[in-house]
A and B are shown apart, each in its own frame.
Chain A
Amino acid sequence: MSATPTLTERAGALFHRYANPGRFLRLGVKLQPWLTWPALILSLTGLVWGLFFSPADWQQGDSVRIMYVHVPCAWLASSGYFALAVCSVLSLVWRHPLADLAAVEIGPVGACITATCLATGSLWGKPMWGTWWVWDARLTSVLVLFFLYLGHIALIRAFDDPQRGYRAAAILALAGAVDLPIIKFSVQWWNTLHQPDSIGLRGAPTMSHAMLWPLLVCTLGFTLGFAAIVVARLRAGVMESRIRSLLSGQHRGEPSPADGTPVGEYAA
């Protein structure tokens, strides 16, 4: 047998480095302001830029300004679910304890973002298409994503044993990941009312740079905001699991912590 660690072992070691909740909390405290303040500044700059300084569309008029909210939400709805799927792999393959907690915290935030994406899409659709909703491939696949988020949240809470809930939700998240390419390519595979992608990896964007820049600033700001909220919720989730373990230790009359973490390590 070779003594050299395989790629899987090395990746596992890297992920387990932050499996220690105390270590993650210290990292989270340092990371929080670096996510929160840039998110706030970039989101506000992008939204004000998009609302007041970017040009109106020659066809859609000012309603195109809804794009600065709708597109970042759509991007986050998909990438949030991708993060959920990654957490599920980490949980199922490496049994990473923080991956389960991260999935618990990403789910509700992703569901709220997806709901906002659908709502802002409707608000954009009404003046442009003349209807709030159509059973179009893109819209329907995003609605399915919203239900996948809700299913994930419900499944985690459906079991008395949280570990069983985490496993079941991780499997649902992985199976549901098949919806992500369907969302992405729905406008190419089917004849949809939704417009095709304006920004792609291949080829130049099909929108004016005066609209592209505020959109990119908004997207970056929203993404950092999503990360900031998830990190804050995850820190709270780690503390709550610590509180539960301390309370159950008190009930059993244990004098020392179950994970050997010194007193004050978490509350710092």
Chain B
Amino acid sequence: MTHLPYIIASYGLAFGLALFLSVGAALRLRRDRARLAALECARGRRDRVTRRGETA
């Protein structure tokens, strides 16, 4: 195969970019999902306590 270093560099760049963007997006999604679940859980608990306090 002629010009092999140039071809490998091009394909390597494309794979590197795809990996960087997709892993970055997946990690960001995972982190945000966990953070949001924890926050919503805490808010749900707080709302229930508030409602109980209002009815008491």
Q: Which residues of A contact B (CB under 8 A)?
A: 43, 47, 51, 56, 61-63, 65-66, 69-70, 73, 109, 112-113, 116, 119-120, 123-124, 126-127, 225, 228-229, 232-233, 235-236, 239-240, 242-243, 246-247, 249-250, 255-257, 263-264, 266-267
Contact = CB atoms under 8 A, between A and B. Distances in A.
B32 to A, nearest CB: 4
B9 interface: yes
Interface of B: 1-4, 6-7, 9-11, 13-14, 17-18, 20-22, 25-26, 28-29, 32-33, 35-37, 39-40, 43-44, 46-47, 50
B10 A232 contact: no
Given A124-B6, A243-B36, 12 more contacts: A51-B11, A56-B2, A109-B21, A116-B14, A119-B10, A228-B22, A229-B22, A232-B29, A233-B28, A243-B35, A246-B40, A250-B43
Looking at chain B's contact residues, the main secondary structure is helix
A240 B50 CA distance: 26
B6 A66 contact: yes
A127 B6 contact: yes
B26 A232 contact: yes
A236 B1 contact: no
Contact of A62 (B2, B11, B35, B43): B2
A122 to B, nearest CB: 9
A47 B43 CA distance: 48
Contact of B2 (A63, A228, A240, A242): A63
Contacts of A236: 25, 28-29, 32
Nearest to A245: B39
Contacts of B44: 263-264
19 contacts: A47-B14, A61-B2, A63-B2, A66-B10, A73-B14, A109-B21, A112-B21, A116-B14, A119-B13, A123-B6, A229-B22, A239-B32, A246-B36, A246-B39, A255-B46, A263-B43, A264-B44, A267-B33, A267-B37
A69 B2 contact: no
B51 to A, nearest CB: 8
B26 A266 contact: no
B28 A51 contact: no
A239 B7 CA distance: 39
Nearest to B48: A263
A264 B6 contact: no
A69 B17 CA distance: 11
Contact of B10 (A120, A229, A257): A120
B18 to A, nearest CB: 6
Contacts of B47: 255-256, 263
Contacts of A120: 10, 13-14
A71 to B, nearest CB: 11
Contact of A255 (B2, B7, B17, B50): B50
B2 A51 contact: no
